[in-house]
Structure formats: structure tokens, C-alpha cells
Amino acid sequence: MSQYYLIQDQKRCIGCLSCEVHCKSNKGLPLGPRLGQIIRVGPKMVADLPKQAFVFMPCFHCEEPWCVAVCPTGAMHKRPQDGIVFVEPSLCVGCKACISACPWGAPQWNPETGKTVKCDYCMDRVDQGLEPACVSKCVTHCLSFGKADKPELTRRERFAKAAALEVENL
């Protein structure tokens, strides 16, 4: 796995799809590829309330990425220093092996260049100490990005607060 995590706080996500456009406009992508995509699940009735989830699917930057293993030219590779999996366009021949191999559907086809394009956590931004575009501009700040060895506390804190509130209201 890469050293980083990109976590989505489902409770705060409103499925506004801004993350998708932040990504596409930052990368200047044409119609077609969606490097990170929100998949809507639901709505369905849960305990008399309509519930739906919006699941954000960027690349997971796997420890042993199948897309890298199948790439015949070495275009798809993993950055040694931090594990970000990315495609080097000058080496990509557009064979789509990575697209077939990835169990998560992360690599995307760019019809303008005839090559693969995929989420690279906006590594140019990461290298400048910034966050990926989707995270930086998320409408509700429901996406967070960080080093995996620094734990993300939002959800534990929320649970603890809710529990405390219940105690208060007893």
C-alpha cells in the first residue's frame, strides 16, 4: 500500500459529485474518464427512513497492484518513495491490460490521448505539500488525506461524542 490514505466520511458526504469535477478540471480531462467516481447506493428504506450512500471510488494504490503486474511496457508503476501507483504516459501504448486487470475499475481510458489515465493522488500537488484536488475542494470536507501512520480520528471522535450525548440525555 502507499503511505497515504484517502478516507471518505460517509456521514458527511452529500453525493454532490464535486470531487469528480475537481479531479477532471485539475487534470484537464476530456469527456469519458472518471478517475475518482461517486457510486450511489440506494435509496432504500432502513427503519422507516430513506437512506442512501455515496461511495467514493478513487484508486486504492494497492501494495501489489495488478495493473502494474500486467503492464507490458512499465508505464504503470509504483513510486518507490511512497507507493503511489501511476501511469507514465510516454510509455503507455494503450493496450488496456491495466483496465482489465484492476478489480476496482480504477484505470480509465482517455479517448483523446488513446492511453490509460488514473488517479495518482495528484502527486504533483502531494509533492508540494498539498492535498489531492478532490480532497482540497470537497464541499463538505468529507474527504481527508494523510499519512497512514497518523490515524484519522473523526469517526471515533464522533462516536464518542454521540455516546456522551446519550449519557447526558439519560
Tell me: does residue 158 bind another protein (CB under 8 A): yes
Radius of gyration of the chain (CA): 18
Site residues (CB under 8 A) for another protein, limited to 6-25? 12, 14-18, 20-22, 24-25
Q: Which of 148, 128, 138 has the alpha carbon at shortest distance from 23?
A: 138
Distance, in Å, from the CA atom of 98 to the CA atom of 119, rounded to the nearest integer, reads 13
Whichever of 26 and 73 has its CB closer to another protein, that residue is 26
Tell me: does residue 113 bind another protein (CB under 8 A): no
Tell me: does residue 82 bind another protein (CB under 8 A): no
Give Dmax over CA atoms of the chain in angstroms.
64
Per CB under 8 A, the segment of 43-51, 70-78, 84-92, 104-112 that binds another protein is 43-51
CB of 2 to another protein, least distance (A): 23
CB of 106 to another protein, least distance (A): 18
Tell me: does residue 103 bind another protein (CB under 8 A): no
CB of 89 to another protein, least distance (A): 19
Tell me: does residue 43 bind another protein (CB under 8 A): yes
CB of 112 to another protein, least distance (A): 12
Q: Which of 59, 67, 40, 41 has the alpha carbon at shortest distance from 2?
A: 59
CB of 24 to another protein, least distance (A): 5
What DSSP string describes 95-163? --HHHHH-TT---EEETTTTEEE---TTHHHHHTT---HHHHT-TT--EEEEETTS---HHHHHHHHHH
Q: Which of 85, 125, 122 has the alpha carbon at shortest distance from 2?
A: 85
Residue at grid coordinates 503511505: 3
Return residues touching another protein (CB under 8 A): 12, 14-18, 20-22, 24-26, 31, 42-43, 49-52, 136-141, 158, 161-162, 165
